[in-house]
Amino acid sequence: MTKIEHYDQPDSITNKNLTWIDIQKPTRKKLQILEGKYPFHELNIEDCLSKIQIPKIDKYQDHIFIILHFPTVDKDMSIPRSTQLAIFAGHNYLITVQQGELKPITEMFNLCRDNEKQRETFMGSSSGYLLHSIIDLMVEDLLHVLMKLEGNLDDIEDLVFDEKVAIARDISLLRREITTLRRVVVPLRRIILDLTKEMQRFSEEDLTDYYDDVRDHTEKVLEVLEESKETIEIFKDTDFMLSTEKSNKILSLLTILFTLSIPATVVGTYYGMNIRLPGGIITGSSDFLGPYTSFIILLIIAIVPSAVMVLYFKKLGWFGW
């Protein structure tokens, strides 16, 4: 058997008969300790090492195995990403395995380790109560993320009608953020429903009210996300329509300018040919209006059709911008 070094030993906290073990960035060496002390299935151990597991609950006679996802924000990124949290829960223990650093859980663990009063408050006397405290804390963190999201939506609302600002990228980033959060919250709500009855067998006290409270908070989070999803879709459609309208105005203006230049282009093309035309080089210029008679006639021939088109377009209402 591979020798386990001291630095591979996971951190643990004990309150009464309950032990909480927290493992960050799990390795096979760290999880070997769990295999020796607890009756965990090897497939669950493999799930802890994998970063692509979907949220689920595996139920066993003496423990349950849970995988949840929660959002975290990297220092170099403003968009949250989903981080996996694996949990083993039994009669007198609860083990959390973090694929990335979930800051609220880490802070809670350190607080319980250093403060006896806080340890009693968060851990209680059963794994069911401790699990409730962890999920409740993460749902509260979700509420803070939602407050920032709603602030970003308000900023987008102020900018969506400003033609001088391009916000298509900002809208796309917000849509991605909302989608990421919904992927976290939707399965979380389903799993909390199952945990209400599953965790009760590991606790003597009635945990129904605690998990119902967490479920209510989760429902509120999901409601806000659904409203945000509808709002950002409205902003996306509005920005698309305004951008399309702006593009149509530009194309209309360019089309009209091109159309008005057609008579001058036609006249200039004919008089650039080596053929006999009135007032041309071969026939000689006319002078009944002075030395610039030919030039004046050509201007009249080019301007009159353009003026007629302008009057016609105005009658049709094409100059409505």
Q: In a structure prediction context, what are the per-residue pLDDT tens digits for the chain, which is 321 residues long?
A: 334 444 456 778 888 888 999 988 888 887 877 777 888 888 888 888 888 888 999 998 889 999 999 988 665 455 677 889 999 998 889 999 998 888 899 999 999 988 888 888 899 888 899 999 999 999 998 888 888 888 888 888 888 887 778 888 888 888 888 988 898 899 998 898 888 888 888 888 888 888 999 999 999 999 999 999 999 999 888 888 888 888 888 888 888 888 888 887 877 776 666 656 666 665 556 665 666 666 777 788 788 888 888 888 788 777 665
Same-domain status, 239 and 268: no
Question: Is residue 152 assigned to a domain?
Answer: yes
The three-state secondary structure class of 175 is helix
Q: Which pLDDT score, from 0 to 100, does residue 3 have?
A: 42
E strand spans, 143-236? none
- Whether 251 is covered by a domain: the verdict is no
- Maximum CA pair distance of the chain? 116
pLDDT at 108: 92
Q: Are residues 215 and 303 in the same domain?
A: no
Domain boundary among 191, 211, 244: 244
pLDDT at 7: 47
Angstrom distance (rounded) from CA 127 to CA 107: 18
Domain count, the chain: 2
313: CB partners within 8 A, 6+ apart: 256, 319
Strands 18-24 and 93-98: parallel
Query: Which residues span the domain enclosing 306?
Result: 261-316
d(CA 116, CA 137): 19
Shared domain check, 149 and 29: yes
- What pLDDT is attached to residue 282? 56
pLDDT of residue 230: 92
Structure tokens belonging to residue 321: 């911008």
Q: Give me the CATH number covering residue 58.
A: 3.30.460.20
Domain-terminating residue out of 219, 244, 269: 244
Decide: residue 77, CB within 10 A, 0-12 exposed, 13-18 middle, 19+ buried. exposed
* Token output for 308: 């007629």
Rounded Cα distance between 259 and 267, Å, is 14
| 312-314-319 Cα angle (round to 5) | 135
Tell me, yes or no, whether 214 and 309 share the same domain. Answer: no
pLDDT recorded at residue 135: 93
- pTM: predicted TM-score of the whole model, two decimal places: 0.74
In a domain, 14, yes or no: yes
Q: What pLDDT score does 2 carry? A: 38
Query: 84 - beta bridge partners?
Result: 69
Distances (CA, A) of 40 to 64, 106, 199, 207, 285: 9, 23, 17, 25, 104
How far apart are the C-alpha atoms of 65 and 199, rounded to whole Å?
11
- Residue 196 belongs to a domain: yes
Domain shared by 301 and 210, yes or no:
no
Residue holding tokens 């209309």? Answer: 252
Task: Indicate whether 74 and 151 sit together in one domain.
Answer: yes
Residue type at 183?
R
Residue 6: predicted pLDDT: 46
